[in-house]
């Protein structure tokens, strides 16, 4: 059984619920017009984040996962509407693949540095990442990883990554536009098996990225966030 699924079919996202799967990549082409428009705006963009859930129906009666807060500060333009529609589709598919109308924390953020240089796992239920500009998230198949070194943090990123990767050539990178869905350590029954990934190196070459992230938040039980 494989630990990951790579497909051009958006319906493949539901495979993240399989016990043996901890990462799904929906491969898709980036919008040829949206990219240049966002690239021109990137120097002035600031990170925007918010929480969305079925409880937001009072605010968003037609769609509880309406991404309007993420794009409202962008200039009015048909491409802004296209970006909003794309974000809405991604969020609906992500929520449907998880089920149970999940509470999501979402952000759209410019990245100008090597944010997460070390191969690591996320201590969340699940996370979706797509890169609208620049290189995408790098990830490793389970059988290429020495998990006993993943949690170590004493060494520098280069040494850490060499220890984690049994086969450095097995490291994969999503391209701009791809949707990467990853199980975290908090997914029920997935402790010790979170998807191993990292941000691509861009700082040395002066690169830039625009990244959308949706994180599945823990449910609220009796008023307590778990």
- The C-alpha atoms of residue 42 and residue 133 are separated, in whole angstroms, by 9
Residue at 100 is within a domain: yes
The DSSP H or E segment spanning 69 is helix 68-71
Give the number of domains in the chain.
1
Containing structural domain, residue 51: 4-217
Q: Tens of pLDDT along 158-210?
A: 889 899 998 889 999 999 999 999 999 999 999 999 999 999 988 776 688 99
| 223 confidence band (pLDDT: 50, 70, 90) | very low
Residue at 143 is within a domain: yes
Q: Tens of pLDDT along 15-66?
A: 999 999 999 999 999 899 999 999 999 988 988 888 886 544 334 445 678 8
180 beta partners: 25, 129
Residue at 222 is within a domain: no
Tokens of 218: 């823990």
Which stretches of the chain are assigned E, i.e. beta strand? 4-7, 23-26, 48-52, 104-111, 126-133, 138-140, 172-173, 179-183, 196-198, 209-216, 220-221, 224-225
Residue 122's CB is within 10 A of a number of other CB atoms, namely 20
Predicted pLDDT at 221: 37
**pTM, to two decimals:** 0.89
145 beta partners: 165
CATH number assigned to the domain comprising residue 39: 2.60.120.10
Q: Which residues of 135-172 are buried (b: 16+ CB within 10 A; e: fewer)?
A: bbbbbbbbebbeeebbeeeeeeeeebbeebbeeeeebb
């Amino acid at each position: 059984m494989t630990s990951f699924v790579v497909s051009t079919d958006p319906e493949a996202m539901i495979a993240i619920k399989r016990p043996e799967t901890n990462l799904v990549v929906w491969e898709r082409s980036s919008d040829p017009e949206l990219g240049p428009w966002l690239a021109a705006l990137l120097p002035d963009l600031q990170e925007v984040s918010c929480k969305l859930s079925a409880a937001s129906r009072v605010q968003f009666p037609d769609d509880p996962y309406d991404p309007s807060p993420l794009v409202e500060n962008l200039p009015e333009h048909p491409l802004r509407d296209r970006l909003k529609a794309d974000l809405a589709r991604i969020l609906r598919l992500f929520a449907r693949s998880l089920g149970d109308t999940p509470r999501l924390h979402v952000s759209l953020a410019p990245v100008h540095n090597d944010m997460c240089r070390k191969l690591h796992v996320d201590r969340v239920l699940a996370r979706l990442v797509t890169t609208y500009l620049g290189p995408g998230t790098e990830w490793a198949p389970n059988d290429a990883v020495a998990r006993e070194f993943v949690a170590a943090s004493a060494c520098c990123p280069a040494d850490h990554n060499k220890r984690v990767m049994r086969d450095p050539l097995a490291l994969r990178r999503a391209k701009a536009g791809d949707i990467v869905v990853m199980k975290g350590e908090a997914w029920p029954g997935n402790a010790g098996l979170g998807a191993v990934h990292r941000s691509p190196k861009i700082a040395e070459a002066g690169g830039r990225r625009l990244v959308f992230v949706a994180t599945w938040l823990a449910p609220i039980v009796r008023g307590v966030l778990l």
